[in-house]
Amino acid sequence: MKYDVVIIGAGILGCLTARQLSRYRLSVLVIDKEPDIGEGATKANSGVLYAGFHPRGGSLKGISCARGNRMHQALCRDLDVPMEYVGSLFVAFHEEGIEQIEEKMKKGRKNGVEGMEMISGDEARRLEPALSEKVIAAMYAPTTGIISPFKLVLHTALNAVENGVAFQFDTAAENIEDCGDFYRIHTNRGTITADYIVNTSGEGAADLERFVRPRDLIIKPKRGEYLVFDTPSPIKHVIYQAQEHDEKGTLLAPTTDGNMLAGPTSYKVRSYQCTETSQKGHDHITHVAKKILPGLDLGNVIASFAGVRANIENVPKEEKDFVVRTSGRNFVSALGIKNPGMTASPYLADKITGLLFDSGLRQEENRDFNPIYRAKPLFLKADRETQKRLLAEDPAYGNAVCRCEGITEGDIRSVLNSPLPPHNLNGLKKRLRTGMGRCQGGFCTPQIIDILCRQWNVPPEKVCKNGPKSSVVKGRLR
Amino acid sequence: MRIVVIGGGPAGMAAAVSAKEQGIPEVLLLERHPYLGGVLPQCIHNGFGTQIYQTDYTGGEYACLWAEKVKAAGIDVRTDTTVLSVEKGWKVNCVSADSGAEVLKADAVIIATGCRERTLPQMLIPGSRPAGIFTAGSAQLMMNMKNYLPGKSAVILGSGDIGLIMARRMTLEGIRVKMILGQEATGLARNIVQCVKDYNIPMRYGWTAVSTHGYERLKGVSIAPFGRDGKPDLTRKEYIPCDTLLVAAGLIPELEVCARLEPEDGLFICGNAHLVHDLVDHVTNEAMETGKRAAAYLGTGRCPACFPPAEERELTGARGNMICTICPKGCIMQVDTEPFSVSGNQCEKGADFARKEIENPQRIVTTVVKLEGGSQPVISVKTDRPVDKGDIFKVMKAVKKVKVAAPVSVGQLVAENIADTGANLVATWECKGTKN
């Protein structure tokens, strides 16, 4: 079949674009080279809804960030995504820091950020008692928020599926052929035809665009590393600091699950696969984190991770921006979408669909469109009545598997039988947080392998962590 | 009057039995696994109970011994029941497939929830996060209870007892243990001899892992020695290719269920949840004492939330290279061969033991065999007498062909005269048959 629109790249931007398009009577397919949604920068970032005082004033990055920040309120309500405007403190340790902050406020005002105010060090410490005595002033911004990146992309995609969007994974676009009035997308899994193409493939976006226009942007991977601290989070606000020397944009942020993140760093790496953390990164993050919160216990670190961003290299820093453009006939691309990409994504998705309609994509309203998605409650978080009903449905709801996060076998079976099911341990983790708690899967992984072997009817070596070569175990002993 | 004991491992079982013996009418023991024993059944090696019972049990045997005591004492046991939290006024929130989520009331609560393992990220060791990185206990459960082969070649980070025992266990199953890395000799002397030296496993004290490599399955580990500043000296970094990294870097008391509670009258903590012990014998003793105190609290109405004094650590390998197993004293001896000399033994038997150990060393072999028609795929077994050290791999080869049908009871003969060694294989754990 020929699709009206094929979206290449199932990150948050691709999924939100798909959901936007499902408001119209269009056939839409989302493809991704990975086995799951949100496997790129979407799954490994700060989980912060930036207010919009970081990017250059009046840039697409700035406007889309500030506007996207506000759009998330309704979006998260519709899609049942945990989100909270916790506010942020941008703290200064020295006089030049106050100047830096004032620059940020100027940018913020240009981008339309509301409610920013300078407060004293003592006022900042009243808001965050663990904050360093050395903080002399801070900017408070009420619209900075936190969000669950996993739930955002998952619920967006599931809502898109409910509204008719199709997804196909493990499918890499290798060549795009313009056939005059339609496109042929040649993939490792056959050819897909489409009238319109949306290129939200993050790391691969510049390479894909080459099929319809000469390359002008050079996009290279840049890694950001993070440390995850155990619950409960020692802070309530997102905390940035005015850099005294090159300290990157390392921040501290509470998460919607009650942890605290510290990071990111910013290092050039050779490929998008390079998601390892480094000693240098650990040292840097712990240095900045201890500077902001001197009493922080590093013994509470339970995990580390890294995300790799698509960074435009051949544009000077002061001119650098998100690029969302019509690359060729009926072909729209988003390039260089790094942070604050997740915050900006609802605005950028609207921009992409706007460009498609400008190119002539038909706008016939889908009357059946349902903007609301409601996640099935987890057994242990459900009310008594729901628990009774679920237990009658499947007694495995009473079998606790992941103690750290309160997940039962019934929850796992339910997710495996839902649309867009996970295909490996990381996919399950993304959906249920299994293995994300303080035991990091030590207790639950053997049990989860058992459950997956039974549900999928496969031998244990076929249960993978992420890619096809990532068998968790190598087979049986006897 | 009711005491709820959370956790059916050695501590929970002993605390429950002891409270019941003290006249508490109702003692309810909650366990999340389908069986009592906690971590013991996955500890298929011997060395349990030498201090209390003067007998060298395996973990499974020790668990079965106590499960019998629990049964005989008339304690209510609920397995397959996970406790989620404990609230003041003593309400225990738990969940099970039979009853769903429910709240159980108690007059006193004993927490015996054991410990969890320190993970690689907790040690702030950077690198990639591929498949193939396990905590040692997790790998032990996979191998000994779930029949999973965790990998083919391994590095073990941590030279405590769990690391050493897993080094031997993996070696016996044909996994190449390339190196054990440890800060110092922290394992029991017995384990250093019987797990590491017996199999010539390379061990480096003062070295640690500094990075992990590979994006899907682990490809290797970078290691380095600690420098004078206490940080790894990266100029001396070495790379070891392997597909498995076992992290045996310490245990942390697991107090999740009462994390939000202050110590208070009527709440008792015992076993590894209170303090990580080296020997199960110490856990049993401490928990028996806790059971008594809980009963006294309900009997007299006044006893502070008790935290019994810490046990002395067992002598570790740093103190010697051989442990005499003739009697439960377990003297740690320094034995040298050229010329032959023994020190640290408290009687003459020690020297004889050392001489025999050198001339014709023998070992009990503990492993698993295929179980058919049971609720688990394998069951743990041991040789009923020590076999010559040189015969161990012959036994392991023969064991792979042995199958046993459920139900199996502890002590049951599984195979006679295994590999012509004269020793029989006997079960060290029990398993009922499945209904179908």
Do residues B245 and B277 share a domain?
no
Q: Is A286 on the interface with B (CB under 8 A)?
A: yes
Question: Residues in chain B, how many?
Answer: 436
pLDDT score for B180: 97
Is the pLDDT higher at A85 or at B313?
Answer: A85
| Strands A166-168 and A28-31, sheet pairing | parallel
- Within the 9-68 window of chain A, which residues sit less than 8 Å (CB to CB) from chain B? none
Closest CB to A442 among B116, B147, B217: B116
For residue B309, is pLDDT > 60? Answer: no
To test the contact with chain B by mutation, choose from A229, A297, A428, A440 the residue with the greatest count of B C-beta atoms within 10 A, namely A440
- Within the 388-427 window of chain B, which residues sit less than 8 Å (CB to CB) from chain A? 400
Q: Please count the CA atoms within 13 angstroms of the CA of A136 that sit on its side-chain side.
A: 10
| Residue B370 binned pLDDT confidence (cut-offs 50, 70, 90) | very high
Alpha-carbon distance B259 to nearest alpha carbon in chain A (angstroms): 11
Quick check: is B225 in a domain? yes
pLDDT score for B346: 87
Is the pLDDT higher at A1 or at A419?
Answer: A419
What would the DSSP string read from start to end of B268-290? EE-GGGTS--S-HHHHHHHHHHH
Do residues B147 and B244 share a domain?
yes
B124 to A282: CB separation less than 8 angstroms, yes or no: yes
Q: Which of B234, B250, B266 is the last residue of a domain?
A: B250
A470 to B212: CB separation less than 8 angstroms, yes or no: no
| Residue B312 binned pLDDT confidence (cut-offs 50, 70, 90) | very low
Quick check: is B309 in a domain? no
A301 to B126: CB separation less than 8 angstroms, yes or no: no
Closest CB to A470 among B80, B142, B216: B216
Quick check: is B48 in a domain? yes
pLDDT digit string, tens, across residues B102-129: 999 999 999 999 999 999 989 999 999 9
Contact A138, A124 (CB under 8 A): yes
Do residues B33 and B103 share a domain?
yes
Chain A residue with the nearest C-alpha to that of B377: A478
pLDDT score for B305: 44
ipTM of the complex: 0.93
Query: Which residues of B fall within a CB distance of 8 Å from A229?
Result: none
List the CATH number of the domain containing B144. Answer: 3.50.50.60
Query: Which residues of B fall within a CB distance of 8 Å from A445?
Result: 134, 138
Please report which helix (H) or strand (E) contains residue B292, including its range: helix B280-300
Contact A87, A237 (CB under 8 A): yes
Chain A residue with the nearest C-alpha to that of B254: A439
Give the least confident one: A410-414, B332-336, B404-408.
Answer: B332-336
DSSP-assigned beta bridge partners for residue A292: none
DSSP letter assigned to residue B149: E
A277 to B141: CB separation less than 8 angstroms, yes or no: no
To test the contact with chain B by mutation, choose from A273, A465, A473, A476 the residue with the greatest count of B C-beta atoms within 10 A, namely A473
- pLDDT above 90 covers a percentage of chain A that reads 95
Closest CB to A396 among B82, B97, B213: B97
B126 vs B112: CA distance, rounded Å: 33
Alpha-carbon distance B261 to nearest alpha carbon in chain A (angstroms): 15
Quick check: is A396 in a domain? yes
For residue B333, is pLDDT > 90? Answer: no
Quick check: is B386 in a domain? yes
For residue B149, is pLDDT > 60? Answer: yes
Question: Two tokens at A328?
Answer: 């060729």
For residue A160, is pLDDT > 80? Answer: yes
Chain A residue with the nearest C-alpha to that of B116: A439
Q: Is A369 on the interface with B (CB under 8 A)?
A: no
Provide the residue type at A75 as one letter.
L
pLDDT score for A107: 96
The arithmetic mean of pLDDT across residues A422-433, rounded, is: 96
Is the pLDDT higher at A116 or at B1?
Answer: A116
For residue B191, is pLDDT > 90? Answer: no
- pLDDT above 70 covers a percentage of chain B that reads 93
A19 vs A14: CA distance, rounded Å: 9
Q: What are phi and psi of A166, to 5 degrees?
A: -105, 150
B127 to A391: CB separation less than 8 angstroms, yes or no: no
A286 to B368: CB separation less than 8 angstroms, yes or no: no
Quick check: is B432 in a domain? no
B342 vs A160: CA distance, rounded Å: 76
Range of the domain at A453: 379-462
Quick check: is A394 in a domain? yes
For residue B308, is pLDDT > 70? Answer: no
- 3-state SS assignment for residue B106: coil
Question: Residues in chain A, how many?
Answer: 478
A44 vs A460: CA distance, rounded Å: 28
| Residue B300 binned pLDDT confidence (cut-offs 50, 70, 90) | low
pLDDT score for B301: 41
Q: Is A270 on the interface with B (CB under 8 A)?
A: no
Do residues B225 and B279 share a domain?
no
Q: Which distant-in-sequence residues (6+ apart) come within 8 Å of B254 by Cβ?
A: B113, B114, B115, B116, B272, B273
Q: Is A394 on the interface with B (CB under 8 A)?
A: no
The arithmetic mean of pLDDT across residues B399-415, rounded, is: 96
Closest CB to A403 among B141, B256, B400: B256
Do residues B135 and B202 share a domain?
yes
Contact B258, B274 (CB under 8 A): no
pLDDT score for B257: 87
Query: Which residues of B fall within a CB distance of 8 Å from A385?
Result: none
Do residues B288 and B340 share a domain?
no
Alpha-carbon distance B249 to nearest alpha carbon in chain A (angstroms): 13
Q: Which distant-in-sequence residues (6+ apart) come within 8 Å of A457 by Cβ?
A: none
Chain A residue with the nearest C-alpha to that of B212: A276
* Farthest CA pair distance, chain A: 68
Query: Which residues of B fall within a CB distance of 8 Å from A476?
Result: 147-149, 377
A401 vs A417: CA distance, rounded Å: 17
Query: Which residues of A fall within a CB distance of 8 Å from B80?
Result: 398-399
Quick check: is B433 in a domain? no
B192 vs B64: CA distance, rounded Å: 27
DSSP letter assigned to residue B188: B
Provide the residue type at A280 as one letter.
K
A446 to B138: CB separation less than 8 angstroms, yes or no: yes
Question: Two tokens at A27?
Answer: 């056939």
A301 vs B209: CA distance, rounded Å: 17
Quick check: is B310 in a domain? no
pLDDT score for B307: 45
Q: Is the dihedral of CA A337, A338, A341, A345 positive or negative?
A: positive
Chain A residue with the nearest C-alpha to that of B252: A439
- Count of structural domains within chain B: 4
Q: Is A375 on the interface with B (CB under 8 A)?
A: no
Do residues B110 and B62 share a domain?
yes
Quick check: is B412 in a domain? yes
Q: Which of B331, B359, B387 is the last residue of a domain?
A: B359
Query: Which residues of A fall within a CB distance of 8 Å from B128?
Result: 275-276
Q: What is the three-state SS of chain A?
A: CEEEEEEECCCHHHHHHHHHHCCECCCEEEECCCCCCCCCHHHCCCCEECCCCCCCCCCHHHHHHHHHHHHHHHHHHHHCCCEECCCEEEEECCHHHHHHHHHHHHHHHHHCCCCCEEEEHHHHHHHCCCCCCCCCEEEEECCCEEECHHHHHHHHHHHHHHCCCEEECCCCEEEEEECCCCEEEEECCEEEEEEEEEECCHHHHHHHHCCCCCCCCCEEEEEEEEEEECCCCCCCCEEEECCCCCCCCCEEEECCCCCEEEECCCEECCCCCCCCCCHHHHHHHHHHHHHHCCCCCHHHEEEEEEEEEEEECCCCHHHCCCEEEEEECCEEEEECCCCCHHHHHHHHHHHHHHHHHHCCCCCCECCCCCCCCCCCCCHHHCCHHHHHHHHHHCHHHHCEEECCCCEEHHHHHHHHCCCCCCCCHHHHHHHHCCCCCCCCCCCCHHHHHHHHHHHHCCCHHHCECCCCCCECCCEECC
The arithmetic mean of pLDDT across residues B354-367, rounded, is: 89
Query: Which residues of B fall within a CB distance of 8 Å from A305?
Result: 129
Quick check: is A26 in a domain? no
Alpha-carbon distance B12 to nearest alpha carbon in chain A (angstroms): 19
- Count of structural domains within chain A: 1
A276 to B400: CB separation less than 8 angstroms, yes or no: no
| Residue B327 binned pLDDT confidence (cut-offs 50, 70, 90) | low
pLDDT score for B328: 58
Alpha-carbon distance A21 to nearest alpha carbon in chain B (angstroms): 35
Q: Is B151 on the interface with A (CB under 8 A)?
A: yes
Q: Is A87 on the interface with B (CB under 8 A)?
A: no
**How many interface pairs between A and B have CB atoms less than 8 angstroms apart?**
161
A398 to B216: CB separation less than 8 angstroms, yes or no: no
Query: Which residues of B fall within a CB distance of 8 Å from A477?
Result: 143, 147-149, 173, 368, 378
Do residues B136 and B236 share a domain?
yes
pLDDT digit string, tens, across residues A227-270: 999 999 999 999 999 988 877 889 999 999 999 999 999 999 99
Quick check: is A383 in a domain? yes
Contact B212, B236 (CB under 8 A): no
Chain B residue with the nearest C-alpha to that of A226: B126
For residue B391, is pLDDT > 60? Answer: yes
Range of the domain at B130: 121-250
Chain B residue with the nearest C-alpha to that of A307: B128
B370 vs B391: CA distance, rounded Å: 21
Query: Which residues of A fall within a CB distance of 8 Å from B234?
Result: 279
Quick check: is A452 in a domain? yes
A477 to B119: CB separation less than 8 angstroms, yes or no: no
Do residues B233 and B134 share a domain?
yes
List the CATH number of the domain containing B399. Answer: 3.10.530.10
Q: Is A304 on the interface with B (CB under 8 A)?
A: yes
Quick check: is A416 in a domain? yes
A351 vs A324: CA distance, rounded Å: 8
Q: Is B100 on the interface with A (CB under 8 A)?
A: yes
Query: Which residues of B fall within a CB distance of 8 Å from A227?
Result: 124
For residue B281, is pLDDT > 60? Answer: yes
The arithmetic mean of pLDDT across residues B368-375, rounded, is: 96
